[in-house]
Amino acid sequence: MNKKSKKHLIIVDMQKDFLTGTLPNKGAVAAIPEVRKLFDEADTVVFTRDTHQKDYLNTLEGKNLPVTHCVEGTDGWEICDELKDLVGKKPGTVVNKVTFGYLKWKELYEALGIEIGPEDEIWICGTVNPICPTAQAVIIRATWPQNIIKMFFPACGFMNLDDGVDYVAATKAVLKMQQIEVVE
């Protein structure tokens, strides 16, 4: 007897500071309807929340990206208003991460009583790609090397720097090398 495949959705850093706050991303705002569609199809949902402290500018990340953002307890740290109504509606949680990717996925799912079987898929979306969602996808690949992992580009906000780099193509290349499927 085959078990029904489950869809485990990870929504990365859809926080106020990344949508309309100190590091606004129009692509993340535009992705909200697609994130909601994925939520409707998922069996479990974990939101990640980028989490910094007041000394952020003194950290390595703060020295390379000198814009204070997602400071724990501030309004900008909260899940965006357009998605916060989804928190707690399905098995899962909100997890704070202090770097580009959360590292303790197996422990988290075990603590939640959620089993990720070999037939299950792990779906990833969020912002700001190619930073945190891509880092998260690579960590998930290392954690579950045999599962199907999908990154949903329509449900992601991408960097839009005017530096000549095609971040969408670069992200696709990294994900392909990690055997992570890109859904466009």
Cα separation, 103 vs 88, in Å, equals: 22
Establish if 2 belongs to a structural domain: no
Give Cα separations from 37 to 11, 117, 152, 155, 178 (angstroms).
Answer: 12, 23, 11, 9, 25
Establish if 111 belongs to a structural domain: yes
CA 149 from chain centre, in angstroms, equals 13
Stated pTM of the model: 0.96
Return the CATH number at 117. 3.40.50.850
Establish if 103 belongs to a structural domain: yes
Establish if 171 belongs to a structural domain: yes
Instruction: Using DSSP, state whether 126 is helix, strand or coil.
Output: strand
Would you place residue 105 in the very low, low, confident or very high pLDDT band (cuts 50, 70, 90)?
Answer: very high
Establish if 1 belongs to a structural domain: no
What are 19-59's pLDDT values in tens digits?
Answer: 999 999 999 999 999 999 999 999 999 999 999 999 999 99
Whether the link from the prior residue into 130 is cis, omega within 30° of 0, is yes
Is the distance from CB of 156 to CB of 27 less than 8 angstroms?
Answer: yes
- What is the layout of strands, in order, in the sheet containing 121-129? 92-97, 44-50, 7-12, 121-129, 148-158, 181-183
What is the domain range of residue 121?
A: 7-183
Establish if 89 belongs to a structural domain: yes
What are 156-182's pLDDT values in tens digits?
Answer: 999 877 788 899 999 999 999 999 999
What would the 3-class secondary structure string for 22-40 be? Answer: CCCCHHHHHHHHHHHHHHH
